[in-house]
């Protein structure tokens, strides 16, 4: 796993002591710019993986598809040192064969659920920017 994090130049490259939860226990540190870079490299098949692997991951990320747009994303949720939630949504929306990439990073107290809030906020932001109509 360490080899792949290093190859991807992914965040601080830190796995810590637990290989099965480093992305959940706040061991790995990522910036929004790093997340954006990974999404662009994935979309354009520029990660150090076979093209087939890129395509499989992109199909897994596809959440909505119709004549106007395709919306692809991955969510993440962890907790910081204070116990607050850190929620991510990273991906892209394609309209007229053009990708528009996004990264949404939210922080909230642990008593507020970010599970559904992340996606509804993302869709509101995209809608306010004129997406979902196939006119971009």
Q: Which two tokens stand for residue 127?
A: 């809608």
CATH number assigned to the domain comprising residue 59: 3.40.710.10
Q: Is 55 helix (H, G, I), strand (E, B) or coil?
A: helix
CA separation for the pair 127, 135 (Å, rounded): 12
Mean pLDDT in order along the chain per 10 residues (136 residues)? 70 65 65 92 96 97 97 91 90 96 94 90 96 87
Q: Which two tokens stand for residue 96?
A: 């007229």
The verdict on residue 72 lying in a domain is: yes
In terms of C-beta distances under 8 Å and separation of at least 24 residues, what long-range contacts does 79-83 make, across chains too? 79/26, 79/110, 80/26, 80/107, 81/26, 83/110
The verdict on residue 24 lying in a domain is: no
Q: Is 99 helix (H, G, I), strand (E, B) or coil?
A: strand
The verdict on residue 4 lying in a domain is: no
Give me the domain span that covers residue 53.
Answer: 31-128
The verdict on residue 116 lying in a domain is: yes
Number of domains in the chain: 1
- Name the pTM for this structure: 0.88
The verdict on residue 107 lying in a domain is: yes
- Let me know: does 68 contact 15? Beta carbons within 8 Å: no
- What pLDDT score does 27 carry? 67
């Amino acid at each position: 796993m360490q080899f792949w994090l290093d190859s991807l130049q992914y965040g601080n490259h830190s796995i810590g002591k637990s290989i099965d939860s480093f992305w959940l226990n706040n061991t790995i540190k990522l910036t929004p710019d790093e997340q954006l870079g990974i999404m662009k490299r994935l979309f354009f098949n520029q990660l150090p993986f076979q093209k087939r692997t890129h395509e499989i991951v992109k199909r897994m990320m596809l959440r909505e598809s119709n004549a106007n747009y395709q919306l692809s994303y991955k969510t993440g949720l962890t907790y910081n040192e204070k116990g607050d939630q850190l929620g991510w949504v990273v991906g892209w929306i394609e309209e007229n064969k053009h990708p528009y990439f996004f990264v949404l990073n939210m922080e909230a107290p642990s008593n507020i659920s970010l599970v559904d809030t992340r996606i509804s906020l993302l869709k509101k932001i995209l809608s306010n920017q004129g997406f979902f109509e196939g006119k971009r």
